Amino acid sequence: MSNHKPLVSVIVPAYNHEKFVGECIESIIKQTYENIELIIVNDGSKDNTSQVVKKYENKCKQRFNRFIFIDKKNEGICKTLNRGIKESSGKYICFLASDDLMLNSCINDLVNYYINNSVERIICNFYLYHYNINTKELYYNENPKWVNYMNLNRQKFYIENLLQNQITTFGMYCRTVFDKVGLFDESLLIEDWDMNLRLINKDIKLGYVSKPLYYYRKHSKNISSNINSYKFMLKGCLQIIRKVENDDSITFRNKEKVISKAKSNKYIGAAIFLKKIKDIHYKIYVKKAISEYPLNLKVYRFLIKDLVRGIW
């Protein structure tokens, strides 16, 4: 195996994905980049995820520079990722959920971007893969607007991402990022949004790759696909907003207004989701959205569309 390029650590947090984890592993095995270590951390899955991973053990040991499989009790995503980071030794680190996939050139393209650009965190485009109907769609059809100011106007970039949660999780980290900002916050329910905000706040230089390098699998167990998981995500997002709100070291113009609008955006997002699945409780979240930020135009656009649908 060639070691002329830096070691890349791929960390796979696995939880109840017996149907998908095999494809996930295969997508890493098929990477054109050779110098990889694979660390899979099973977070107390209740299905046969662990057994599926073990079937790939010999294949992974032959393919990768190093292969580690950790089978532990359920502790949540942040502790699971941190365990993987602590076990890793690569110069670069990327995370891949056990139901998602990498395109074959993914790691090679990301490492080449690091070699040619002075950045510590790369964000990249990806495909939404609709598993049930076997179709895919590009997430960003053109460069998102935040790319234009992500390394130029950091305060605007921070505020926009606090309001919209715009940065995707797909991409790669230089290990130095975690030396500067620390590991994932284990007091939180969800990991990526908080980490992205911390990177912006610490002026970590970011890069964006417009080429799609991952598949994000959409299926019935996604957080965004069922009501209980969605409520879990909403609770986690509100946790992060409150963390920013209570951190006196994080200062920006009109902080109180921005925080209120951020909460309102999350509530109206919940209302839209519940309305889509025909849950009548969506009205509760509309009221919460208005209560947090009465001038939120997103709320009134939703109400107008809801009214028009009701008329027709």
DSSP H helices, 220-254, are: 227-246
201 vs 196: CA distance, rounded Å: 9
Q: What would the pLDDT profile of 141-173 be if each residue is shown by its tens digit? A: 999 989 989 989 999 999 999 999 988 889 999
Angle between helices 255-276 and 227-246 (to 10 degrees): 180
| DSSP category for residue 305 | H
Does residue 303 carry a pLDDT above 90? yes
**How confident is the model over 273-294, as a mean pLDDT?**
94
Give the full edge-to-edge strand order of the sheet including 206-209: 66-72, 36-43, 8-14, 92-95, 171-174, 121-124, 206-209
Q: What would the pLDDT profile of 173-211 be if each residue is shown by its tens digit? A: 999 999 999 999 999 999 999 999 999 999 999 999 999
Does residue 225 carry a pLDDT above 70? no
* pLDDT on residue 2: 46
Spatial CA neighbour of 241 closest among 267, 260, 257, 225: 260
Label residue 226 by pLDDT band (50, 70, 90): confident
Phi then psi dihedrals of residue 309, to 5 deg:
-60, -40
* pLDDT on residue 134: 87
Does residue 311 carry a pLDDT above 70? no
Considering the domain 8-218 in this protein, what is its CATH number? 3.90.550.10
Q: Which residues lie below 8 Å from residue 250, measured CB to CB, with a gap of 6+?
A: 201, 244
Does residue 222 carry a pLDDT above 90? no
* pLDDT on residue 278: 87
Q: Where in the chain is the domain with CATH 3.90.550.10?
A: 8-218
Q: Which two tokens stand for residue 23?
A: 């494809």
Question: Poorest-confidence range of 165-174, 218-227, 255-264?
Answer: 218-227
Does residue 284 carry a pLDDT above 80? yes
**How confident is the model over 294-303, as a mean pLDDT?**
95
* pLDDT on residue 219: 75
* pLDDT on residue 106: 98
Does residue 258 carry a pLDDT above 50? yes
* pLDDT on residue 228: 85
307 vs 312: CA distance, rounded Å: 9
Does residue 75 carry a pLDDT above 80? yes
Beta bridge partners of 40: 12, 69
**How confident is the model over 97-107, as a mean pLDDT?**
97
110 vs 10: CA distance, rounded Å: 12
DSSP H helices, 122-213, are: 154-164, 176-181, 192-201
Yes or no: say if 84 and 56 are a contact pair by the CB < 8 Å rule: no
119 vs 139: CA distance, rounded Å: 23
pLDDT-above-70 percentage for the chain = 96
Label residue 312 by pLDDT band (50, 70, 90): low
- pTM (global) more than 0.95: no
The neighbour count for residue 156, using CB atoms within 10 Å, is 14
Does residue 309 carry a pLDDT above 80? no
Phi then psi dihedrals of residue 48, to 5 deg:
-95, 25
Beta bridge partners of 13: 41
Does residue 300 carry a pLDDT above 50? yes
Beta bridge partners of 121: 173, 206
Spatial CA neighbour of 8 closest among 109, 112, 86, 111: 111
Q: Which residues lie below 8 Å from residue 86, measured CB to CB, with a gap of 6+?
A: 183
Using DSSP's 3-state secondary structure scheme, residue 36 falls into strand
Q: What would the pLDDT profile of 116-128 be if each residue is shown by its tens digit? A: 999 999 999 999 9
Q: Across the chain, what does the average pLDDT equal?
A: 94
Query: Whose structure tokens read 């006196």?
Result: 248
Q: What would the pLDDT profile of 4-36 be if each residue is shown by its tens digit? A: 799 999 999 999 999 999 999 999 999 999 999
* pLDDT on residue 58: 97
In sign, the C-alpha dihedral spanning 280, 284, 287, 288 is negative
